[in-house]
Amino acid sequence: MTPSEEVSDATGESNERENVIDLLAAKREALVAAEKDYKVCKEMRDQEGMSIAGRLKDALAVIINELETEAAVVVEATGRKEAVDRLRGIKRAYGSVLTEYQEDDGRVQQAVAALSEEITALNARARKLEAIRAEAAALSDRFSLPVPILGTVAEPRYDVASSLPAFWQYRAVRPSFEQCEHNLRTRRDYTEISGSPGYAIITKAGLRPFRPLTEQEKEVLEDKAEWKPDPVLAAAATEATALSQLRVPGGGVARG
């Protein structure tokens, strides 16, 4: 193996490995075509054509099985590389957003301080108005003078707390899970990050496989698969239930 081949093999960047996905898609298309040919030959009673199409189907099935194994490796490696790149991007993006958040927080603090100062000034102005009105009333009373007409100032009706957005609170993003077809195993499906670039990477690479079934779980599934209701009894039960719904005397299934 040459040095360049060693590098390609180690990094997974050889042309053969890059083309395995396209090759797999092509072989799958060929298998579909072979299955159609086999069906046509069978309808036409073309023994030779069926033999050729059948052998082609078998050969393609073997090749596809091998390519699927290779493709799974390539897909996993590609997904891992994309995940590494995305995590680097996330680190940069998080740092940038954190800086912006800190700047936003500083502006909010400045706005709160400015609002506090304005409210303090407004309250002080109101106290001055009250003092002036009191002074006018006192002078008018003492010297029997008409009270000057002074404008009335209403109390502020601002509900500052309710008129502003509530501050954020910590919110846990809980992992999402799905169950296997037997409802015995669970795995993460990552839908909690649906719509994100990371979710697209995971979707393309596929979810992790479910853990292997335990021996006890296999036995339970085998018992379920082996048990089948008696078709005669099942039909009789269905008929009896239908008769009971029609209120036919004697209809129904006795429980016991």
The string of pLDDT tens digits covering residues 186-207 is: 999 999 999 999 999 999 999 9
Tell me the pLDDT of the chain averaged across its residues.
86
Hey, what are 167's tokens? Answer: 């501050």
* pTM (predicted TM-score): 0.66
**60 Cβ partners below 8 Å, 6+ apart?**
27, 30, 31, 34
For position 159, what pLDDT does the model report?
Answer: 87
What are the pLDDT digits (tens) for 5-52?
433 443 345 455 558 889 999 999 999 999 999 999 999 999 999 999
Domain residue ranges in the chain: 12-143, 171-212, 213-256
CA dihedral 118, 122, 124, 126 (to 10 degrees): 180
Provide mean pLDDT across the span 68-88.
94
